[in-house]
Homo-oligomer: A and B are copies of this chain.
């Protein structure tokens, strides 16, 4: 294992809730253990469910999403969470200044929309799926024409889109070749915002 835990607080300003940082690939929490709910500040997180001894991809969280809300009800997590890219989380609790119901409803509808996003990542041709995934991960750092994206490993991308690592790798090469993507360092890319269907074969 190359990643080492680095849960030091990255935020020193006292008036802001403390954030925790996780390195790409690092586990954030395990199903059936106790802990708090979190809000994703930067980076992306993958949720997994173990069923009949098989770990399956079960959800994705990006900037602004809440994960682990089920602990507030059950006292323990229902999924495993793992950092897809380097990421920062802050503890989440219902905002005292607003009615609890409203906050939870907001979380609920956000979760439903995110779920629909994830479902759409498993729909249609491989190029489109990978492109949609990268767009989804680009929710932050986005300008109008392009966005910097911290890329997860090919294995994670494969499990999220239900493709194979070979296909993911080939598609990223292809997107790079046609200029839809440029590498910025090892695991960052610049995504040019093409209309999704405007790719030459």
C-alpha spacing A51/B109, complex, angstroms: 17
Assess whether B111 is in contact with A58, with CB atoms less than 8 Å apart: no
Collect the chain B residues with CB atoms within 8 Å of residue A1's CB.
Answer: none
Check A112 for interface membership: any CB of B closer than 8 A. Answer: yes
Interface centre among A102, A107, A108 (most CB of B within 10 A): A108
Assess whether A123 is in contact with B162, with CB atoms less than 8 Å apart: yes
Q: How many copies does the complex hold?
A: 2
**What is the interface of chain A mostly: helix, strand, loop, or mixed?**
helix
Assess whether B70 is in contact with A112, with CB atoms less than 8 Å apart: yes
Closest to A57 in B: B119
Interface centre among A74, A112, A122 (most CB of B within 10 A): A112
Assess whether B108 is in contact with A69, with CB atoms less than 8 Å apart: yes
Collect the chain B residues with CB atoms within 8 Å of residue A108's CB.
Answer: 69-70, 104, 107-108, 111
Check A118 for interface membership: any CB of B closer than 8 A. Answer: yes
C-alpha spacing A119/B73, complex, angstroms: 23
